[in-house]
A and B are shown apart, each in its own frame.
Chain A
Amino acid sequence: MSDAAASLLSLKDVSVRYPIRRGFFQRVVGHVGAVEKVSFDVMRGETLALVGESGCGKSTLGRAILQLEEVADGKISTSYGQGGSRRDNARRAQVVFQDPLGSLDPRWTIGNLIGEGLDVHRIARGAERDARVRELLAQVELPASSFYKFPHQLSGGQQQRVAIARALALRPQLIVLDEATSALDVSVQAQILNLMKDLQVEYGLTYLFISHDLTVVGQFADRVAVMYLGRIMEIGRVGDVLSNPRHPYTKALLASSLKVDPDARIETVALLKGDVPSPRNPPSGCRFRSRCPLAQPACADLVHHMVAAPNGRQTATCIAQDDNQQLFQGKTND
């Protein structure tokens, strides 16, 4: 896995910033750092999960990889050819969003929605194109009769299958799954997750799986990167990170996730204080320090960098890292 030749995507100190505009002329008065100096590799054929709370920059990072967002600093290099146009990139990297109905044009038939990419890239025409579309319908386990239907005639799970078929149509190497199963019922989510796993094996797909649900991530992903306020706090193999978290934020996130266990009552859940701070004005030093139960004055001057460990694991430096074990075992109160 750590073989450099097998890497599909490589991010080096990538930052993405959004301008803050003010006043009548909408002049740029500053920037919000949505993603700050993020570096990681995505291996061919693996599923890398990006997890974190809303506003942590996980979706922005996904969009930057799809070239839907401009990278302010750093470099994203890909083994499928970099620096091409957005159009070239679309053949290699596709996306499935959370809300299928929002990403499917209500006036288009399913056949045309799935065939759109084939038309735009002039891959197939006429009967050949329709045959390809029907093949895609079969691959995502939709009935052939849905070819002439409209999105609103399908259930939420079926709509998401259409979105997956659309993403598959150009035979991409990378698919960014941006909360692709979050809006689905659990039984449908299970179907979609299984389908995506099957497709991954069949076509050697690489997934960037953006999610906030740690249990789904634990099941579906090979590696996971935990983000907080634009920075990676911890990255490593899913089993390692989720069963033995090192960074206080990863621990807090895991502790807050509810378990399907009647003994895990809400009274026993360790609570994290406060809200995620605004990315416009993040805390200095370690960005988690304003909510961290182990924060010390020195955290304000901490320079963010990743410390490597075996198995490709990396954890953001943390002053309290060594002595935080015992604190998380007892419960804390709001």
Chain B
Amino acid sequence: MPVSHTAAMDEHPVLEVDSLAICYGKLEVCSDVSLNVRRGEALALIGESGSGKSVTVLAVTGLLGRGGAVTRGRIMLDGEEISRLSDRERRRRGLLGKRIGMIFQNPSRALDPVFTIGQQLNEAISLTGLSGKEALRRKGAEWLRHVGLPDPEEALDRYPHQLSGGQRQRAMIAIALASEPELLIADEPTTALDVTIQAQVLNLIRRLQRELNLALVIVTHDFGVVAAMADRVAVMYAGQVVETGTVANIINAPRHPYTRALLASLPTGVPGARIAALPGSVPSAVAMPTGCRFHPRCPIAIDRCSQETPQLESAAGGHQLRCLRAEEIARHV
């Protein structure tokens, strides 16, 4: 591991989420999420659809929308509790757009079609205190050059629809970073892109994260993205974090039965081989299983699993695990 990492470990986390629960009306979509990210570190949040990974980052950015609310737990940004602030208070503290940058999956929906890239960039740049038409334009072009858009000066006057998908994603990254945030959240940033463009965009995000020493949270369902980008990984299932660990630990030595099953269900690329498919599907928030939420699909579930609720606990090798049989698993590995 590079030296810069060990240095970063001493600092307190930029983002700390502690036993977070989120409800939409009476539905609890997220029940117990704990994470932390330090400067210069990339945390991947991986899970299948409905696992609560996107809702978690929406709560961090305050974009839960109508009816969504944090019901338990805390979200700390630089030691400051931000989970229950009003929109006005968020804006006053510079939480909307300024201190947290966000990259969405679909750049054509996240960018405003009636404003040029330059106008949307200016909005973000002016949050840093810079003003004046010339200065904004210079800074804007500099950002677009930084994210590798060809002809940055010209791109400032383009509308989103005049750019290709990969270029739009680059423009959105520039906008997210132009306000000089300390935390960058990327929610499925490359899911809609072709593989060659995906590699370009991920490379760009990683490079900028390093250069600007950002804390990065990358939400994804793709273990390939996790392996390429993350320092640490949090695996989510049915609104809970079920396992955390370093990227090497999670991929090479997963402990939780869900993480193992998920990794086993990836195609190996071996012609004709059968895939070890995990039966069933992610439970919905309406009918959450009792006890351990994974027990109906778990290959090693015992009677206890349907009654007792496991907690996220530290295990050997720097893992954190939510499994009643964690100790037995540890002995067998």
Binding site for B on A (CB under 8 A): 53-54, 155-157, 185-191, 193-194, 197, 212-216, 218-222, 238-239, 242, 252-253, 256-262, 264-267, 269, 271-272, 275-276, 291, 334
Q: Which residues of B contact A191 (CB under 8 A)?
A: 277-279
Sample 13 A-B pairs with CB under 8 A, ordered by A number.
A53-B197, A185-B48, A185-B221, A186-B221, A187-B48, A190-B266, A218-B267, A219-B273, A222-B271, A253-B196, A256-B199, A262-B227, A275-B166
Cα–Cα, bound, A267→B195 (Å): 15
Q: Which of B197-235 contact A (CB under 8 A)?
A: 197-200, 202-204, 206, 221-229
Compute how far the CA of A222 lies from the CA of B229 in the bound complex, rounded to whole angstroms.
32
Judge whether A185 and B275 touch: CB under 8 Å.
no
- B224, A54: Cβ atoms closer than 8 Å: no
B275 — which chain A residues lie within 8 A by C-beta? Answer: 190, 193-194, 219
Q: Which 9 A-B pairs have the closest CB atoms?
A: A258-B224, A218-B269, A190-B277, A190-B265, A53-B194, A185-B48, A187-B278, A219-B267, A266-B228
Closest Cβ of chain A to B221, distance in Å, is 6
B86 interface contact, C-beta 8 A: no
Complexed CA–CA distance, A54 and B166 (Å) = 12
Name which residue of chain B comes closest to A187, CB basis: B278
Instruction: Report, as a range, how many residues of chain B touch the other chain.
Output: 35 or more
Q: Which residues of A are found within 8 Å of B148, using beta-carbon distances?
A: 334
Report the Cα distance A155→B277, complex, angstroms: 16
Q: Are B262 and A269 in contact, CB atoms less than 8 angstroms apart? A: no
Residue of B with least CB distance to A220: B267
User: Which among B164, B203, B226 is the interface contact of A271 at CB below 8 angstroms?
Assistant: B203
**Besides the contacts A187-B278, A190-B266, what 16 more A-B pairs have beta carbons closer than 8 Å?**
A53-B197, A155-B281, A157-B281, A190-B265, A190-B277, A197-B274, A219-B271, A258-B199, A258-B202, A258-B224, A262-B247, A266-B199, A266-B229, A271-B196, A275-B166, A334-B200
Inter-subunit contact A219/B224 (CB<8 Å): no
**Beta-carbon contacts under 8 Å, B264-318 to A:** 265-279, 281-282
A216–B270 CA distance with the chains assembled, in angstroms = 9
Q: In the assembled complex, how far is the CB of residue A252 from the closest CB belonging to chain B, in whole angstroms?
A: 7
The answer to whether A187 touches B265, judged by C-beta atoms less than 8 angstroms apart, is: yes
Do A269 and B267 form a contact, CB below 8 Å, given A185-B221, A212-B195?
no
Which residues of the other chain, B, contact A214 by a CB distance below 8 angstroms?
A: 195, 269
CA–CA, A256 and B33, complex, Å:
33
A53 to B265, CA, bound (A): 24
Q: Give Cα A189–Cα B276 distance, bound, in whole angstroms.
A: 11
| Contact A215–B227 (Cβ < 8 Å) | no
Would you call B203 and A215 a contact (CB within 8 A)? Answer: no
B251 to chain A: closest residue by CB: A262
**Is B131 on the interface with A (CB-CB < 8 A)?**
no
Give chain A residues whose Cβ lies under 8 Å from the Cβ of B227. 258-262, 264-265
| B261 interface residue per 8 A CB criterion | yes
Q: A54 CA to B197 CA in the complex, in Å?
A: 11
Say if the beta carbon of B326 comes within 8 Å of chain A: no
Contact B228–A269 (Cβ < 8 Å): yes
Contact among A155, A193, A276 for B267, CB-based, below 8 A: A193
